[in-house]
């Protein structure tokens, strides 16, 4: 968790809908960036569905949601369509955002050590300040916790 608000370096990144995400100048009071390992995997699907299902409540709290992974835009477009996601997905194949937010970790998968994204969520306010972070997220109940945080800030 961020102990006190800290500035986030401005960035831009390609996202679904043939758009570019730009941190500076966002209209929302808060922006949620949730980093997940891979499209079309069980935990990541569950997490994206949870954000989808609470999207209206996030909107009511003045919050925009963006998912981030290393998957290609093509993979993201297919995943977004398959799940009916009402928010955009940011593609980070070069791991620039992953490095900026420090989410790349060595993990154990099927008995092998692999480098991958540690499931993490960040809340950035309208002034570009990181106001809350969750690292090593377990999917169950997490999205509710994020919504509760931004609703208190609204």
Residues contacting 39, CB < 8 A, separation 6+: 69, 71, 75, 76, 78, 79, 89
The catalytic position among 33, 44, 85, 123 is 44
98 is catalytic: no
CB atoms within 10 A of CB 30: 23
Instruction: Confirm if 154 and 29 have CB atoms less than 8 A apart.
Output: yes
Mind spelling out the 3-state secondary structure of 2-59?
A: CCCCEECCCCEEEECCCEEEECCCCCCCEEEEEECCCCCCHHHHHHHHHHHHCHHHHH
Phi (first) and psi of residue 27, to 5 degrees = -80, -20
First to last CA, the chain: 19
As annotated, the active-site residues are: 44
């Amino acid at each position: 968790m961020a102990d006190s608000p800290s500035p986030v370096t401005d960035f831009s990144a390609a996202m679904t809908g043939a758009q570019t995400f730009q941190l500076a100048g966002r209209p929302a009071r808060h922006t949620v960036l949730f980093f997940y390992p891979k499209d079309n995997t069980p935990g990541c699907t569950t997490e994206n569905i949870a954000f989808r299902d609470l999207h209206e409540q996030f909107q009511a709290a003045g919050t925009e949601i963006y998912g981030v992974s290393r998957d290609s835009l093509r993979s993201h477009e297919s995943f977004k369509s398959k799940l009916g996601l009402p928010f955009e997905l940011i593609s980070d194949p070069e791991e620039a955002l992953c490095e900026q937010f420090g989410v790349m970790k060595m993990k154990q998968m099927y008995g092998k050590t692999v480098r991958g994204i540690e499931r993490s969520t960040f809340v950035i306010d309208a002034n570009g300040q990181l106001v809350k972070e969750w690292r090593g997220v377990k999917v169950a109940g997490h999205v509710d916790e994020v919504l509760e945080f931004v609703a208190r800030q609204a």
